[in-house]
Amino acid sequence: MADTVVAREIPSVYEPSLFGTYSKKIGMWLFLMSDSLTFGALLYAYSYGRISTAGWPTPFHSESIVNATVMTAFLLTSSLTMVMAVRASVERNAKAQTLWLLATIACGAGFVILHGMEWSKLIAEGLTLPMFPAVPGHEVSAEFSSVAKSVPQFPSTFFTLTGMHMLHVTLGIVYLGVVALRRKFIPILLALWLIAWLATPSYSPFHYGVHVLLVAAIVISIILWLKPKVYDSSDVEVAGLYWHFVDLVWMFIFPLVYLMSARIL
């Protein structure tokens, strides 16, 4: 019996990607959708605690509000510089792309530094969690210590929500640094980790929190040495999606946590 050969048409190109866009962008959107559930749960927990707890504290004075407003200005400016970086990448202007990305990183770093100073000030004044060690040589404010004791939900939700956002901003800085400088960013990141670790006192929660930078440096070292690449406009656009998401989340945190908890004299 003769063999019968059935001819089948084999497509010469891959099927178009979902929604007509590239897979990296779809992957980032899926990640942001899942991450929005995390922040949504944290915002809900804070809001529920505020509504259900009688005598919810309003401990933030004008100094904290001004500091948080400057932090917000840093993030809003970083959104603008990120847009300019995406535009430069589309126009294939590598130099402008790198400069705008570095400007975005600088604004994000300013936000993290101010946020860290705000945390350190509040912890020193008595707004703390049981896991945080006592700050030696600082006089505890009666107002903040009473808040931590009478309404423990406030510091727990405050530090969890703002700490999670600060972590996202820090990882976003690392992400943009890799896109902008690639392997050159690794020694910079290691230097930042060493400086931050030596500069923060041992009783500060940031003394061990800065190890996030060390872990990030190890991970990106493995990735960049195994698969070096030049990031194109699509990579910059995907990084911009993450950065704008982080900025958007802060637009919910700032009024809910700071403005609605401000003490009006």
Residue range 221-247, pLDDT digits in tens? 998 888 877 788 889 999 999 999 999
Domain presence at residue 133: yes
Domain presence at residue 80: yes
- For the domain that residue 94 is a member of, what is the CATH number? 1.20.120.80
Q: Taking residues 59-67, what's their average pLDDT?
A: 86
Burial 21-36 (b: 16+ CB within 10 A, else e): eeeebeebbeeeeebe
Domain presence at residue 196: no
Domain presence at residue 150: yes
The confidence score (pLDDT) of residue 152 equals 83
Domain presence at residue 203: no
**176 within 8 A of 98, measured Cβ to Cβ:** no
The confidence score (pLDDT) of residue 66 equals 92
**Domain coverage including residue 125:** 58-181+231-261
Q: Which amino acid does the sequence have at 144?
A: F
- Mean pLDDT computed over every residue of the chain: 86
> What confidence category does residue 10 fall into, taking pLDDT thresholds of 50, 70 and 90?
very low
The confidence score (pLDDT) of residue 1 equals 45
* pTM, to two decimals: 0.87
Q: Which amino acid does the sequence have at 169?
A: V
Res 139 pLDDT > 70: no
Domain presence at residue 68: yes
Domain presence at residue 202: no
Alpha carbon distance 209, 171 (integer Å): 12
Q: Taking residues 38-64, what's their average pLDDT?
A: 88
Alpha carbon distance 193, 189 (integer Å): 6
- Between 7 and 216, the higher pLDDT residue: 216
Domain presence at residue 207: no
The count of structural domains within the chain is 1
Task: Give the number of other Cβ atoms within 10 Å of residue 185's Cβ.
Answer: 21
The confidence score (pLDDT) of residue 229 equals 77
Task: Please give the share of the chain, as a percent, with pLDDT higher than 90.
Answer: 54
Alpha carbon distance 62, 69 (integer Å): 10
DSSP 184-240: GHHHHHHHHHHHHHHHS-TTSTHHHHTHHHHHHHHHHHHHHHHS-----HHHHHHHH
**233 within 8 A of 216, measured Cβ to Cβ:** no
